Amino acid sequence: MTEHGHDLTPRRARILRLVVEEHIATGAPVGSRTLVAIGELGYSPSTIRYELARLENVGLLDHPHTSSGRVPTEAGYRFYADEVAAQRLPGRPLAIELEPARHEVDVALQATTEALSQVSSLLALVSAPSVTATVIRHVEVLLLQPQVVMVVVITASGSIAKRVFAFDAAVDARLVDWARTYLNETVTGTGIGTSALRRKLANPELSLRETAFLHAIGGAFLEVVEDAADRVYVGGASRLMSELRAREVSDLGLIAAALEERATMLGMLREVLATDRVLIRIGGEHDDPRVRPLALVAASYGIGSRNLGVVSLLGPVRMDYAGAVATVRGAAAALSDYVESLYS
């Protein structure tokens, strides 16, 4: 087989796989004696030593000066991670019940984030569905005072936005009642931020008075978009930093600063929305140099073929990739079921 420009025989691939798994489990360099003692290969010690040297020559293993064993390079981890992702491992169910949070998306996503972090001991990042991916469920238009109107917009994802409008003159209560009825009859089920919503707010069949009032309160729909923009839920940051410190990873301050920036986190997750497969980024594959000591395992969730958000785990390059892949797949499946029941 050919991987990363290297010609790997099945025997070489098998040995590399075992070296990566043993190093992930122990953190120690892996030598031929260790591989023989494991007893899974059935090759002679001399054969194993030869193949380890070949794997080092093509850049898939490294040889620490203080040890006779080898450790995987980033390319070695990439080979292993690609194999794990291609196996279509079943998703690992999370011990969490999302149904009680049926109309509270924030609660469900935060609970998922915490469960992911606890089960994996890694940093969990979960992005919320864009509010523009959901539709309007209900609109309330209320006359609070003769010159003050409040508009409440509720979306299918559970987002609620309210905005108060002050007018120069008293507002006709009948106009307020009409607006509430008209909006619930016409914009319910319409996507936030769509041209269809704009057309319904500027319906040419309405009177000038009705059109002017809808134009005056139309900012309430923009408020929904602004309030829910680019939400990312984070869990397990202290666990990750403790683990990196224990592994003597340098530049902890830079890593912490990067993870505090929403733009950095969104940048890492946005690519996943364009694919239906598990995405794995290892070390130098990250665009941001500050997070290159880390690896990311992520999967999208959504409805049918429509991806709405991302579930991900971030940890040291020497992480349990098989466990991380199974965990994000399980969480993505649970959130897909959740949002499908919610949006339908």
Nearest to 153 by CA among 166, 144, 165, 141: 141
The model's pTM? 0.73
Quote the CA–CA distance of 301 and 329 in Å, as a whole number.
Answer: 9
Quote the CA–CA distance of 18 and 36 in Å, as a whole number.
Answer: 11
pLDDT digits (tens, 9 = 90+) for 150-207: 999 887 766 677 889 999 999 999 999 999 999 999 988 887 766 778 888 889 999 9
pLDDT digits (tens, 9 = 90+) for 255-271: 888 888 877 887 888 88
**pLDDT score recorded for residue 55:** 94
**pLDDT score recorded for residue 2:** 46
**pLDDT score recorded for residue 280:** 95
Q: Which two tokens stand for residue 87?
A: 């196996």
Segments of the chain with pLDDT less than 70: 1-7, 66-67, 89, 95-104, 130-134, 157-159, 193-194, 223-230, 342-344
CB atoms within 10 A of CB 233: 20
Q: Residue 163: beta bridge partners?
A: 151
CATH superfamily of 133-227: Enolase-like, N-terminal domain (3.30.390.10)
**pLDDT score recorded for residue 97:** 67
* Fold match flag (90-129+230-343 vs 133-227): no
Quote the CA–CA distance of 180 and 184 in Å, as a whole number.
Answer: 6
Q: Write the CATH number of the domain with boundaries 2-85.
A: 1.10.10.10
Domain boundaries of the chain, sorted by first residue: 2-85, 90-129+230-343, 133-227
Residue written as tokens 């969730």?
Answer: 301
If you count them, how many residues does the chain have?
344
Task: Give Cβ neighbours of residue 343 (< 8 Å, ≥ 6 apart).
Answer: 134, 135, 156, 157, 303
CATH T-level topology, domain 90-129+230-343: Beta-Lactamase (3.30.450)
**pLDDT score recorded for residue 302:** 85
